[in-house]
Amino acid sequence: MSYCLGIKTSDGIVLASDSRTSAGADQVNTCQKMHSFVIPGERVLVAVTTGNLSLSQSVFTLLRQDFDQGRGLAAAPTFYDAVREVGEKIRRVAELDQEALEKAKLRFNVHFILGGQIKGSEPELYLIYPVGNPIRSTPDSPFLQIGESKYGKPILDRGISYETTPIEQAAKYALLSLDSTMRSNATVGPPVDLMLYRNDTLEVTHRRRFQGHDSDWMELHMRWEQALRKAIHELPEVNYDGPAVSRNL
Amino acid sequence: MSYCLGIKTSDGIVLASDSRTSAGADQVNTCQKMHSFVIPGERVLVAVTTGNLSLSQSVFTLLRQDFDQGRGLAAAPTFYDAVREVGEKIRRVAELDQEALEKAKLRFNVHFILGGQIKGSEPELYLIYPVGNPIRSTPDSPFLQIGESKYGKPILDRGISYETTPIEQAAKYALLSLDSTMRSNATVGPPVDLMLYRNDTLEVTHRRRFQGHDSDWMELHMRWEQALRKAIHELPEVNYDGPAVSRNL
């Protein structure tokens, strides 16, 4: 498995990804899962991906070929068109590989999150399913997750608000969501890639890769664990004087 | 789904369970999943369960019948024997129901956690699988989870230490683990049942049921969310001056 997420609040977008890729527990590698397609001042499109690495690499290869020739993601007039472009490439790869995978009892499994902005339209954040169909982040659902998403969901549910969470804070939530997942699940691992996009800048000014031994990462991890323990310690003691569990069935 | 957990630290045991039971999204009910078998001063055995409610109820019915006649859990000479007694009852119910369930394409799915102490031996915490085989909590694995366990695992991973977590603190972790799960997953729901056992007391002195609207529960939930937001706010800002993500593949 792997784990990626996108957060969209009122002032920007954050994308983050792990880099663990494995085919079984005895074949563990790392691979960057964040890819950007940028024409500065005109469009910023950043994608993260989970699922079968062979499939996502094929999709990115096709997207990059087009982009480098000024087509596809380089030319899509709206963000929705760009999202559909990713969906089309997924379907192209499905034509190439799905039948053979299913014969081998493997699932055609690949998910994408695409975030960014095209000049003249609003910033957007989408999730694209293996079938190629997309869903969009809205103020009611300000984050999207793909891959091993359960461990890192509670902290996002508790903290992220489209209206009130500054995008710099959202970046911390994204890192903590990934840290929680890596702490609890061995199939998600470093390096962690992070990208922060501020609305209407039309360029990527904030990006960062954290290796597992990165001192900034270690400090975040340790300070967070200390803060959690302190917060729990300061919660009121459990009151056992309320209604009790009945003894039997 | 549902979610239950047990924590064993050096001075006691905590068990906690949700009460959501559902057969599909349109048939949602509540049912207590914590059951105790106690002979004060002699033995305390408390079980929580997830999985098919029909199966767990059958297992508890068989266990209770024996217990009320001074057999089974009432007579098991060691805690391991008591755990095996639960396993035997699971196997008995499997003989009754497994074939019919599988014909209907349903899984024979039922899990138990059993915690407590029998006079003359150490306190113990075990998980018992649908096949009837058990695993035991150890100082290296001081908590056991069954059911929808991923959402509530990070907080336990970060905070619970067999040697250093007082059992009163462990009770807070158990409640927060359940709260995180209920916040993020609609198939886990209140009331929450909590039991705290202090080593060598051989009676249950601390138990509590929290309804969703319980004022103690609401206070815990709100203070925790506030504490988390404050803790995240106080973390250092993300440093984007380190190594960056490479632009392309």
- Residue A30 lies inside a defined structural domain of this protein: yes
Residue B224's CB: how many other CB atoms inside 10 A? 21
- Residue B30 lies inside a defined structural domain of this protein: yes
- Residue B63 lies inside a defined structural domain of this protein: yes
Q: How many domains does chain A have?
A: 1
- Residue B109 lies inside a defined structural domain of this protein: yes
Q: Provide the b/e sequence for A148-173 (b: ≥16 CB within 10 Å).
A: bbbbbbbbbebbbebeebebbbbbbb
Number of continuous H segments (helices) and E segments (strands) in chain B: 5, 12
**For A31-176, where are the E strands, in sequence order?**
34-39, 43-51, 110-118, 124-128, 134-136, 143-147
**Alpha carbon distance B175, B210 (integer Å):** 10
Q: How many residues does chain B have?
A: 249
3-state secondary structure A195-229: EEEECCCCCCCEEEEECCCCHHHHHHHHHHHHHHH
What is the model's pLDDT at position A248? 52
- CA-based nearest residue in chain A for residue B236: A220
- Which residues on A lie below 8 Å from B242 (Cβ)? 208-210, 214, 216
Q: Is the pLDDT of residue B171 over 60?
A: yes
What would the mean pLDDT of B95-121 be, rounded to a whole number? 96
Q: Is the pLDDT of residue B189 over 80?
A: yes
What would the mean pLDDT of B7-24 be, rounded to a whole number? 92
Q: How confident is the model at residue B249 (pLDDT cuts 50, 70, 90)?
A: very low
pLDDT digit string (tens) for B28-49? 788 899 999 999 999 999 999 9
In this structure, which amino acid lies at residue B233? Answer: H
Pick from B184, B230, B239: which is nearest to A157 by CB? B184
Helices (H), B17-166: 53-68, 79-103, 153-159
Q: Is the pLDDT of residue B85 over 90?
A: yes
Contact A141, B139 (CB under 8 A): no
Is-cis flag, bond preceding A154, omega within 30? Answer: no
Main-chain dihedrals φ then ψ at residue B87, nearest 5 degrees = -60, -40
Residue B92's CB: how many other CB atoms inside 10 A? 14
Dihedral sign, CA of B87, B89, B95, B98? negative
- Cα angle value A60/A58/A204 (rounded, 5°): 10
- CA-based nearest residue in chain A for residue B249: A35
Pick from B230, B235, B247: which is nearest to A224 by CB? B235
What would the mean pLDDT of B78-91 be, rounded to a whole number? 98
What would the mean pLDDT of B61-69 be, rounded to a whole number? 97
Contact B156, B150 (CB under 8 A): no
ipTM: 0.88
**Alpha carbon distance B25, B186 (integer Å):** 9
Kindly report each contact of residues B90-96 with a partner whose C-beta sits within 8 Å and lies 24 or more positions away, as own/partner: B90/B55, B90/B59, B90/B128, B90/B130, B90/B131, B90/B132, B91/B131, B91/B132, B92/B62, B93/B55, B93/B58, B93/B59, B93/B62, B94/B130, B94/B132, B96/B58
- Residue A245 lies inside a defined structural domain of this protein: no
What is the model's pLDDT at position B241? 84
Q: Is the pLDDT of residue B179 over 80?
A: yes
In this structure, which amino acid lies at residue A174? Answer: A
Cα distance from N-terminal residue to C-terminal residue, chain A: 40
- Residue B27 lies inside a defined structural domain of this protein: yes
What would the mean pLDDT of A10-25 be, rounded to a whole number? 89
- Residue A90 lies inside a defined structural domain of this protein: yes
Strand, helix or coil for residue A126 = strand
- Residue A99 lies inside a defined structural domain of this protein: yes
Interacting residues of B113 by C-beta distance below 8 A, sequence separation 6+: B4, B5, B6, B15, B47, B48, B49, B125, B126, B127, B128, B144, B146
Q: Is the pLDDT of residue B91 over 60?
A: yes
Beta-bridge partner residues of A34? A48
What is the model's pLDDT at position A23? 66
What is the model's pLDDT at position A247? 54
Beta-bridge partner residues of B12? B9, B198
What is the model's pLDDT at position A245? 63
What would the mean pLDDT of A11-20 be, rounded to a whole number? 96
Least confident of A8-12, A86-90, A94-98, A181-185: A181-185
Q: Is the pLDDT of residue B212 over 60?
A: yes
B212, burial (CB in 10 Å: exposed 0-12, middle 13-18, buried 19+):
middle
Q: How far apart are the CA of A173 and the nearest CA of chain B, in angstroms? A: 8
Take residue A143 and report the two structure tokens written for it: 């984050």
- CA-based nearest residue in chain B for residue A35: B248
Q: How far apart are the CA of A100 and the nearest CA of chain B, in angstroms? A: 25
In this structure, which amino acid lies at residue B41? Answer: G
pLDDT digit string (tens) for A188-198? 899 999 999 99
What is the model's pLDDT at position A249? 39
Residue with tokens 């929808």: B148
Q: How far apart are the CA of B209 and the nearest CA of chain A, in angstroms? A: 5
Least confident of A126-140, B91-105, B232-246: B232-246
Q: What is the CATH number of the domain that holds A51?
A: 3.60.20.10
Residues of A numbered 205-224 whose beta carbons fall under 8 angstroms of chain B's beta carbons: which are they? 206-211, 214, 216, 219-220, 223-224
Residues of B numbered 116-135 whose beta carbons fall under 8 angstroms of chain A's beta carbons: which are they? none
Higher pLDDT, B190 or A245: B190
A198/B contact by beta carbon, under 8 A: no
Q: Strands A28-30, A20-22: parallel, antiparallel or unpaired by DSSP?
A: antiparallel
Beta-bridge partner residues of B208? B194
The chain-wide mean pLDDT, for chain B, equals: 94
Is-cis flag, bond preceding B191, omega within 30? Answer: yes
A24, burial (CB in 10 Å: exposed 0-12, middle 13-18, buried 19+):
exposed
The chain-wide mean pLDDT, for chain A, equals: 94
What is the model's pLDDT at position A30? 87
Structural domain span for residue A42: 3-234
**Alpha carbon distance B178, B217 (integer Å):** 11
Task: Count CA atoms within 13 Å of residue B191 on its CB side.
Answer: 18
